[in-house]
Amino acid sequence: MITGIRRHCLFAASAVAVAAADQVVKWIIVTRVPLYDRITVLPGFFNIVHYQNPGGAFGLFAERNGLFLTMAFVLITLAALGLIVYLYSKTPPHQQLLALGLSFISGGAAGNLIDRLRYGQVIDFLDLHAGSWHWPAFNIADSAITIGMIIFGWYVLFKKMPA
């Protein structure tokens, strides 16, 4: 069991690693892949793309682009980060997987927040599809948030949550 300052450093380091990896790959995409271009990795299944998403998850509210929407997403993200830090502070030291999940959510939220502050939108680059089925483009931050939420959901459903 990891306790004390080491535990908090691991939480912060995991979140920073997720956000940093997300930002490095996004920088590569922005500087090397023209906007809306597509690089086929696995034909009929996986492409690298360069999309800019002014909306939320899955492009929600993308048609309502503007400063108000960007600021709303920034404020929502900051509130979510505050809630995640609170939940982490209540997580017992023996629930290391839950702490890791919360750090993934934090790092992913921070990665997308950096995009919103830099570009006013989020850079997406992972494109999955099979036949007529097409998943909306996403990024490393989105993947980390999803993994973290799966871990969190597992704890909510099957484990005792912190009080």
For the question of residue 115 being annotated catalytic, the response is: no
Identified catalytic residue from 22, 115, 124, 127: 124
For the question of residue 37 being annotated catalytic, the response is: no
Q: What are phi and psi of 46, to 5 degrees?
A: -145, 130
Which residue from 105, 141, 97, 81 is spatially nearest to 7, judged by alpha carbons? 97
Beta bridge partners of 90: none
- Say how far apart CA 131 and CA 32 lie, in whole Å: 28
Residues designated as active site: 124, 142
